């Protein structure tokens, strides 16, 4: 199988710049949300439509990235329970 309908675009999710990559492999759409810096994948999702796969990926990535901003400042002791 060859990947088709490859697209890539930049967006901001929860304040973090990301790249959203999608392509179709057979009947399945694959979507990856990558952080722009350092350039690692954050979330991957699949769906029967591009919209479905993107919705899943963006929803999960937004939730995950939102937690980063809510972390305590790193100059505090990070070994306390609950961090």
* Position 82 contacts another protein (CB under 8 A): no
β partners of residue 18: 11, 35
d(CA 15, CA 31): 20
* Position 9 contacts another protein (CB under 8 A): no
Tokens encoding 47: 């769906």
Q: Minimum distance between the CB of residue 6 and another protein, rounded to whole angstroms?
A: 5
Residues that bind another protein (CB under 8 A): 1-4, 6, 8, 16, 21, 23, 25, 30, 34-35, 37-44, 61, 64-65, 68, 71, 74-75, 77-79
């Amino acid at each position: 199988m060859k990947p088709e309908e490859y697209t890539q675009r930049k967006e901001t999710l929860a304040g973090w710049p990301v790249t959203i990559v999608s392509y179709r492999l057979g009947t399945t759409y694959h979507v990856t949300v990558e952080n722009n810096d350092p350039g690692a994948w954050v979330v991957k999702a699949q769906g029967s439509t591009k919209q479905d796969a993107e919705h899943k990926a963006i929803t999960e990535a937004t939730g995950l990235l939102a937690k980063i901003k809510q972390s305590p400042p790193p100059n505090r002791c990070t070994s306390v329970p609950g961090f």
